Structure 1
């Protein structure tokens, strides 16, 4: 007998729990001892099924074989002609057995069927469920009766139907909720919906691609992470995010919206059917709501949008780490004001330095010649500067010199480049250029330590 077969049954079942249910069932042919092990596997992983009658019969047999044995996780993913009654029966089966994690991704591909899968009501009335993920087709607006999931900590909703009122009721039924993911939801009140995210226990909130939202209202006093990757809503109201530690804001914008934002008094403004200027201005309300954040990451689009509302930006008194992602089609117009609004900033990270140059970039960069240079930098207390995605372009080198000259508190600069990425200079040439730059800079009595890292490894260090 092989060594694996001599292992205790508990360990064998643990090994099988990492396989799909199909794969675990196939091990029954190995020996008599393996034949019934699937009955005790703590996880059911039914992946990429097509819901043909033969496969649904297989699932029925597995559930019958397992009887009432305890279950930790139930994962069901597939598409086809869904027998809702049968699927709901499977869900009821695992719920009775004390399952703590349920992950359902079901898509009915029949063209004649309205893809509103009726979720089994018992999934929202369970005292043991800790994690619930729903993707595709499920219609949460159809839920009726009492809702209560006292132990649920994680709720992930992707591409499901939902109404604003039922969503608010659902959150109130989750007193222990710590993580919430909302992605590509199909709101019943299309183009006229105000979404309220209110939870005293919520710590992690991730929102993405919910483009029909008119207004957001956030009341999340325990939130420590906020991720927003979506179009700008009409408005934002933030009642409480006082404990926020990290926020990543990535606004989705179209090129024509950027053009309108750059020229707010243009002749086409009277035809601003999408209310671009007003929406972008109200992003300031969102930024005001996250003003206590300690670590902030902004996408190129977001930085450009902030140019519309930069004068209304709050003071980020707790912010000590700021990451700016750059793109050569998006500008830095908001940079001077943003840096002045961060009085305790210690670490500044640029993911790329090349950006769209305008005369409104101010003195944060050296792209446009002006008499007064670096004024917004001289008041910034940054100690550590990281530059990622360095390509060796002349503009990048000039900008690095600009930073070295005008950040008065700078103690350390790290420049990252990838060995295999297309660059204008090879690594040794970059090293020579930086060395010349440092020689010039040290003549100005600087104490900044500069490091060149290639593919994450230290290539050279100047002290």
Structure 2
């Protein structure tokens, strides 16, 4: 085996070594002079340490010196301790000089060198994960002409939103952006502006602060994950090409308490005005208008009091406004149907029926998926709500009800009752009632024929396949 490995050409062995952890790849250099030269040509270098020990510093210096001026594909440095910038910066300048294309830095209490942000070769840049990594005012210019992927976590922008805007403006071909815990709730305003961006993920830990002003100018964005406290305003939202969105907009604890105690449960989709109480809760009307072209939308239970995930303490007040402002929404997923009964959800459900036509009557939703527990409520409200959807949604092509545990009686019982619905808004709707080991499908409205099929093995496997 050793002889056969030694007969491989040098470029192939170097390529194989690039997939090994750097320490293991470096250990091969003691085998012979040939292996020492092979390791020197490794293009992926990954270093990690919890302290700035002399042995670690010496190891990094030796590896970089061994490579000379040869090009580098990826350089990763993860430091959980607080290193000396005079030690770390020369390493970064070394790999930048050698044309590194992927750079990952997770270093605590470290001002990022300005040279990073004028690299002509970087295609992927990942910054953060440490404590106190900063984009300082020393960065006067940003020019990253080849950067397509940018990931930022807990990076401090000393100029707040100005520094962040400067960074994005210097990335003319950026396609994927991941932002985590930027602390932009402390900025005067924040704008994610990138004309070439196709994928955006933003996550902020739950806290007691709300962003003041958040804008999105990403006309070519196709995929969005957005989890944050609701901003006080969204002055500009441009998502012309959005296909799929995962939204989790949260109220702070104080806002939730005030919203829940108010007699007017209609704040969140009202038009903008100067009412102090509504301003405190926040207004996301512009944001949801901006995503009205989305085709697949996921909403968390905390998203503006939208009970897409089942929660007895959260109402459906905002769902009517959502459906109205998303005329291209084709897929809607409910994880349970239990929700708080409020006067604002009457034209969406059966809690407090309104005289006005149901918002469901103008819904564009074609695929409705509902995940239920094994035992339907004794009062039959979940069953009645499903019937209500069938009776009111005119464009519905597929209704899938999935029991998240294996229990055949519930599948048979619900399937039988739904087949008995006399008035169906959609001319032809395919019905599926599924558990982990049983699937019944039928076409409504008509005398239905049972169709048996092999169910998926796991709940999440079904869920992911169903939405694709």
Same fold (TM over 0.5): yes
TM range (shorter): 0.7 to 0.9
Query: What count of residue pairs does the alignment treat as equivalent?
Result: 421
CA deviations on 1:4-46 (whole Å, 9 max, x unpaired) are 4443332332222222212222344566654443211111111
- Cα deviation for residue 129 of structure 1 reads 0.8
What residue number does 2:70 align with? 69
Can you give the 5+ residue segments of structure 2 that lack an aligned partner in the other structure? 268-275, 444-468
Q: Residue in 2 aligned with 1:128?
A: 121
Shift of 1:236: 1.5
Q: Distance in 2 between matches of 1:292 and 1:444?
A: 27
Find the partner of 2:242 among 241, 244, 250. 244
**Any idea what SS the aligned residue of 2:421 has?**
helix
Could you tell me which residue of structure 1 aligns to residue 363 of structure 2? 380
Match of 1:182 among 179, 184, 193: 179
Query: What secondary structure does 1:89 align onto?
Result: helix
Q: Is the 8 A contact 1:241 1:289 kept in 2?
A: yes
Q: Say which SS state the counterpart of residue 311 (structure 2) adopts.
A: coil
Task: With the length of structure 2 as denominator, give the TM-score of the two structures.
Answer: 0.80
CA contact (8 A) 2:368 2:399 kept: yes
The residue aligned with 1:91 is 92
* In structure 2, distance between residues paired with 1:459 and 1:300: 28
* Aligned-residue CA RMSD (Å): 3.1
2:199 to 183, 187, 204: 204
Q: How does 1:239-278 map to 2 (within 5 A)?
A: 240-264=238-262, 277-278=278-279
Query: 2:414 aligned with 1:430, yes or no?
Result: no
1:90-109 correspondence runs (5 A): 90-107=91-108
Q: What does the per-residue CA deviation read over 1:362-385, in whole Å, with 9 as the maximum and x for residues that have no partner?
A: 13223x264759823233243321
How far apart, CA to CA, are the structure 2 residues paired with 1:6 and 1:454? 55
Q: Tell me, yes or no, if the aligned pair for 2:251 and 2:304 is still in contact at 8 Å.
A: no
Structure 1, unpaired ranges of 5+:
108-114, 270-274, 306-322, 420-425
> Deviation of residue 140 (structure 1)?
0.7
TM-score of the pair, normalised by structure 1:
0.81
Change (3 A) 1:26 1:460: farther
Q: Is the 8 A contact 2:296 2:329 kept in 1?
A: no
Q: Which moved more, 1:224-233 or 1:386-395?
A: 386-395
Q: Is the 8 A contact 1:70 1:99 kept in 2?
A: yes
Distance 2:5 2:357 in 1: 67
How far is the alpha carbon of 1:168 from its aligned partner?
2.1
- Residue 308 of structure 1 corresponds to which residue in structure 2? none
CA distance in 1, matches of 2:219, 2:32: 56
Instruction: Check if 1:393 corresponds to 2:376.
Output: yes
Q: Which moved more, 1:251-260 or 1:87-96?
A: 251-260
Any idea what the Cα deviations from partners look like across 1:32-84, whole Å, max 9, x if unmatched? Answer: 65444321111111135432221111111111111122111111112124021
Q: Is residue 54 from structure 1 mapped to residue 55 from structure 2 by the alignment?
A: yes
Q: Is the 8 A contact 2:100 2:121 kept in 1?
A: yes
Instruction: Return structure 1 stretches of 4+ with deviation > 6 angstroms.
Output: 442-446
Instruction: Show the 5 A alignment for 1:357-372.
Output: 357-366=341-350, 368=351, 370=353
CA gap 1:225/1:93 in 2 versus in 1, 3 angstroms:
same
SS in 1 for 2:58: helix
What SS class does the counterpart of residue 300 from structure 1 fall into?
coil
Tell me how far 1:338 sits from its aligned partner: 2.9
Spell out the pairing of 1:275-354 with structure 2 (5 A cutoff).
Answer: 277-304=278-305, 324-354=308-338
Matches within 5 A, 1:8-27: 8-27=9-28
> How far apart in 2 are the matches of 1:247 and 1:289?
12
Question: Aligned to 2:170, which of 146, 170, 173?
Answer: 173
Q: Quick check: 1:156 aligned with 2:151?
A: yes
Residue 328 of structure 1 aligns to a residue whose secondary structure is strand
Task: Report the 3-state secondary structure (helix = DSSP H, G, I; strand = E; otherwise coil) of the residue aligned with 1:60.
Answer: helix
Distance in 2, Cα, partners of 1:346 & 1:288: 16
Q: Distance in 2 between matches of 1:430 and 1:16?
A: 56
CA gap of 1:281–1:121, structure 2 versus 1, over 3 A, is: closer
Distance in 1 between the 2:229 and 2:263 partners?
A: 22
Cα 1:333–1:66 shift into 2, 3 Å = same
In structure 1, what is the Cα distance between the partners aligned to 2:31 and 2:280?
63
SS class of match (1:134):
strand
